[in-house]
Structures are given as structure tokens and as C-alpha cells.
Chains A and B, each alone.
Chain A
Amino acid sequence: MSEPAPPPARVGLHEIFVTFLLIGATSFGGGVVAYLRAYLVESRRWLDDDEFMSALEISQTLPGLNATNMSIIVGDRLRGVGGALVGFAGMVLPGSVLLFVLGALYGQHGHKPFVTAALAGVAAAATGLLLATTIQLGRKELHAVFDLALVAATCVAVSVFHLPLLVILLTAGPLAVWWYRPRAVAAPAGDAAADR
């Protein structure tokens, strides 16, 4: 895909808002990419699979969260800055309102033993979810010994040596990009597209 595909027929700002509001309200459990794909590619047909993967690639490479980055990139794609703004607002609003309510409940009942115990259970499960997500992404993205070494070095630098994140990004980042500099990459064509 060398030429950007033309955006689909003009989509209303309210449609963008409502669609991301639905994604924002239903994507429980952290797996927001599946919800994004179900709505944007399958239900609304605003993007085809290639366009979706391309937007996702940007979201994942850049700093920030997939969910909000995707809402901004796709919203912008469909209706420019206005689309990006309403996409972002829709994505954040439901969770934000619910979290406000949960926060108020926590403020009133957070000291009670059954609340503490329930949250401890949630935290334990969240740890499992984080680990599983990291392993799944690792299986997909890590191909070489260098990759594994970089994962280990980064994790140790943060978890054991507590180096500042900025320092790690500014040293390991350029090094890793240089390692995969264009002439060193012999990836077969279509590798990026098959990469999910």
C-alpha cells in the first residue's frame, strides 16, 4: 500500500463519536484491539484489513495507548481534526465516568475488608492478564536472539536497576533501531502485513 487509500464516503462526526463510545463502553478486559477491529473493519467498514493493520502499527510503535491512539488516527483519517477529537472523546468517556463512580464508592467503602479482598483478587488476576498479554505479544514479535536479549536487558534495567525510563529509551531505542537498520533487514515482503 504505497498510496493512501481514499477515505470512505464522508462519515458524520456523530457516527464517529457513537462508534468509539460503543467501543469505549464495551471493551472490558484490556483487549481493545479486537473490539476496534470488530467495529471499524467488520461492522462499520470504515477501514479494510490493511488500513487497520497500518493504523495499528503506528499506534503500537508510538508511545501512548492503542485505544486512544487508534481513536485519534482513525478519527483523523475519516474526518480530520474534528473526527480525531470526537473519536478520542468517545473512547475515553464511558470508562472515565464509570471509574469516577468506582472511585467514589472506593472512597466510601475502600477500607472494608471485603472490598480490599475483592480488589486484591482483581490485582492478582490483572497480574496474570499482564503476563499473558506480554507472552502473547512476545511470541508474535520476538524472532531473534537479539530481541530476547533486548527484552531481558530492558526489563532488568527497569526492575532491578531502576534506571529512568527516559535514559533507557534514549540509549536502547536508537541502538535497537540501528540494529535493524535498513540494509540489515532482510524481511520477506508481506512480513509486516502478516504480522498481527
Chain B
Amino acid sequence: MNKLLQLAGVFSLLSILAVGGGTAVLPEMKTEVVAEHDWLSEAQFIDIYSLGQLTPGPNMLMVQLIGQKVAGWPGAAVALLGFFLPAGLLAWYTGRLWERLADWPWRESIRRGLAPLAIGLMLAGTVTIARIALGDLRTVAIAAVVTAILLARHVNPAYLILASGVLGMWLLQR
């Protein structure tokens, strides 16, 4: 029960802090999940993140696996709802309000001001994943090639993710 409350607390706070989407809260999530609560090791955290990359839909469904690891089925449900519901309620309410605020000058100020903040947080999220995922030259090379391809061409990233998984099996096995 205590664990469920902790899960609800951690993930609902992350939910409303997720300006810039899921990537933006990755550093805070890793701190909470790995260092603060010791629910997962760093290696498990990155593995679960990778599993999340293999699934369609919202990018951060991985929270469900974190919840499941901590407190089984109820944990999965609490983590998932905790992470998506508070921000969802805010979106629902603002969605109704936003149309009426079309001529409110601060609307553009908010959008314009928060955009760089969101991008800075996404960059920090990228750094968090990179610090764990890029341990040697081979993984750095994979990441660099994927970045270059995505910036140069319009490819579905899913193919690159899958190809890198296969490549990893061949190249990264110890």
C-alpha cells in the first residue's frame, strides 16, 4: 500500500512537471526511481527505457513496467494513471479554455517562452540516456549514425531502432 502511494506521488508529480514531454522528465525520473527509491538499478532503468522504444503509442509507457516491478499489477496501473492523468486533466481543461483565449496576448508569450525551456529539458533528458547508453565507441557510433540519418532523411525511426537492436546482438554481445 505504501509502495502504491509512493508510486502515485512520484509519477503524478513527474506528470505535471513534464513540460517538453516525457523526455524532459527522464533525469528527474531516473533520480527518483534509481537513486531516491532504489526501485531499479541504472541498467534496469535503461533496459526498460529500451523496451519502451519498441512499443508504439505514447513514448513513456515504460512507467508501467517500473510500477509493475515495484508493486505488481496494481503498481503498473498506478504508475500509468499517475503519469498520464494529471497532465491529461490539465490538457482537457486547457483545451476547452484555449480556444476562448485565442486573443489573449499572453498565450503567445507562454508558448514562446516555454519552448526553449522545453527544448533545454529534452536535451537534458538526452544527456541522461546518453550517459548510461553510450558506454563505448560502438554505442557512440550507433547513436551518431542514427542521428545523422534522421537529420538527413525522412525515415521512420522505428526501422533504425529495430536495426540497431539486431546490430547490437551481433556487435555488442560480451
Which A residues form the contact surface with B (CB < 8 A)? 1-2, 4, 23-32, 54-55, 57-69, 72-73, 76-77, 81, 84, 88, 91-92, 94-96, 98-100, 102-103, 106, 110, 113-114, 116-138, 141-142, 146-148, 150-155, 157-159, 162, 164-166, 168-169, 172-173, 175-182, 185, 187, 192
Contacts and interface: CB of A to CB of B under 8 A. Distances in A.
Contact of B113 (A69, A164, A173): A173
**Max chain B Cβ within 10 angstroms of own Cβ: one of A30, A69, A121, A159:** A121
B137 to A, nearest CB: 11
**Chain B contact residues, majority secondary structure:** helix
A125 B108 contact: no
Interface class of chain A by DSSP:
helix
Interface string B150-174: 1100001111110111111111111
A59 B119 CA distance: 14
B96 A64 contact: no
B125 interface: yes
B45 to A, nearest CB: 10
Nearest to B174: A113
A32 B61 CA distance: 13
B143 interface: yes
B80 interface: yes
A155 B49 contact: no
Interface string B66-90: 0010000000100010001011101
